[in-house]
Structure 1
Amino acid sequence: MRVSERLSDTELLAFLKTLLPVKDWSEARLRPLPVSYTCRFWWLTVPGRSYLIKEFFPDNEENPLYPTLPEQEADALAVLARHGLAPDLEAFAQSPAGTPLLVYGNAPRQSEEIEVGEAAELIGRFAALNEPIPSHQIVPSGYHEVLKSGDDMLALIPQSRKAANLLRLRPETDAVPRREPVRSLVHRSFCLGTILATGDGARLIDWQFAGLGDPVEDIACFVSPGLAMLYGIHPLVAHVEDMFLEAYPQQETVERFLEERTAYHWRLAAYCLLRHETLSTTNAPAARAYGRALEEEVDLLLRLR
């Protein structure tokens, strides 16, 4: 049993009463949300305010592509909330179960709907932000570094027949000229599943995977059918992807994405294959989910050829 499973809703609510500046708890409503691979979530609503509570599972810091780093998320929120890019960081503490607990706060949302143009405007404003955010991991930036990280993941499963097949789809190293790496904060799991509708507009959540890399990665994530599958949402259809790319404010980044995108999709396919094979004996439902995401990315790579 995970440590986090011992934190009951009653214990959590009692703990939140010591953290949050709520004057009247009599109308508070705490509602559990679906559990992800790395976190548990709850909605807490009180008059005039909504909170999203995230409890991080332990032992997810060593993932080869998406290490879960709660402190990085707290650091990002502390800066990005001031720019209307993320919800407010209400609290970051150790839960009674000994796990990291983070609380977002926002004005109550009026609608669940997020328009594709709104998503493009939001991530474009984030990419243009020039305020430094400290203490973030350095992540692969650009076509060649991304391909290398995919190679490194496949090297962890050298006996895999599927890995040998995936290597046949690897983009050519020399297909894109080498460039100086771009380094700015990137979200790295940007999709409709990581955008929160609030009373103040759309806000980006789930910063635990963020790092210093190329904004092209966030575009690749948004249009990735495999990542969408992992977040339980439908992949974008072609005309919606086109709408997103047309609405993205920095068109020079879009041009670089169109040139380099196969590296990002191939790297995600390699990651999904690694997770599919390494989780098959310990977490069969997760392994199956990664297997479906792998199929989506492979299909896309074949269409892009």
Structure 2
Amino acid sequence: MDQTLPPADILAELAAQRPDHRPATPWQILPGGRVNRLWQQGDLVLKVYDPNGASPLFANDPKAEAAALRHVAPYGLAPELRAEGAGWVAYAHVPGQNWQQDVTIVARLLGRLHALPTLPDLPEKREVWPHPTALLHYDPVPGNIVIRPDQPPLLIDWQCPALGDPAHDLAIFLSPAMQMLYAGKPLSRDDHDLFLMTYPNRETVARYQTHAPQLHRRIADHCLWRAARSAPGYAEAARAEMALLEQRPDPDTQGQKSRAP
């Protein structure tokens, strides 16, 4: 089987749904996907899902991605969905580059997303602490933020959208592990603080600051889970996340220590 081309059965389904898509250029593999496979042909991106790609923290659901793109694209925050099928989606290619600098762009982008109407039938990330429910991207890492010249940025790779506390998205973007995996290094303390200063909802920022130890502990556990399965880079990423936890101890653990004899 030619692994450089998308599966033939998916190409047949795509052609049936999009008979107007007939570019002269061949399919090209897109780099960057850690779980799923991506190809581009002309102005179309085809994403084929790994059925074993989910983790305990991050889902990997093509139906959820299709629903999220339909819901979010009209607001200018995601690419347009072009076609979908069992285990795949196709959406408009977005020219630009992955986010590399200026955390204020991401803070405003997530603020816009979290202010949108919610989308029914998505998984709910319920917490023990009180919180509002917002639409979450749930994977706003640098590789999933496209910066476009003279246009607003977009979020791509919507395979794990959810409903829940927007503090989740803040934690994932600020995560030292996720920054290392996708940008090569954690954010500086100044950028971390600037992001929180710029994000528009102060109550969400306050909840993030209160519950950051729990949120980042989950990310560290995810990295350890991936490292145990030999995923490249995740052992180092887990160490970076745990270093943050050492700086910001879990308040529940601290309370237990203070009550110990």
- Would the TM-score normalized by the shorter structure come out above 0.5? yes
* 8 Å CA contact 1:116, 1:243 repeated in 2: yes
Residue-pair matches, total: 245
Aligned to 1:173: none
Match of 2:44 among 51, 56, 61: 51
Aligned to 1:156: none
Aligned to 1:275: 226
Gaps in structure 2 of 5+ consecutive residues: 250-261
Aligned to 1:134: 120
CA separation of 1:219 and 1:292: change in aligned 2, threshold 3 A: same
Distance in structure 1 (CA, Å) of the matches to 2:99 and 2:170:
20
* 8 Å CA contact 1:40, 1:57 repeated in 2: yes
Distance in structure 2 (CA, Å) of the matches to 1:77 and 1:222:
20
* 8 Å CA contact 1:55, 1:101 repeated in 2: yes
Aligned to 1:250: 201
Aligned to 1:71: 63
What SS is found at the alignment partner of 2:243?
A: helix
1:191 aligns with 2:154: no
* 8 Å CA contact 1:196, 1:204 repeated in 2: yes
Q: TM-score, normalised by structure 2?
A: 0.82
Match of 1:116 among 70, 78, 103: 103
What SS is found at the alignment partner of 1:104?
A: strand
1:33 aligns with 2:36: no
Comparing 221-230 and 73-82, the one that deviates more = 221-230
Gaps in structure 1 of 5+ consecutive residues: 95-99, 146-178
Aligned to 2:187: 236
RMSD: 2.6
Distance in structure 1 (CA, Å) of the matches to 2:94 and 2:6:
24
CA separation of 1:303 and 1:69: change in aligned 2, threshold 3 A: same
Aligned to 1:168: none
Aligned to 1:154: none
* 8 Å CA contact 2:99, 2:146 repeated in 1: no
Cα shift readout 1:204-226 (whole Å, capped 9, x = no counterpart): 11221121111001011111011
State the one-letter code of the partner of 2:234. Answer: Y
Match of 1:299 among 235, 243, 246: 243
The 4+ residue runs of structure 1 with deviation greater than 6 A are none
Percent identity between the two aligned chains: 31
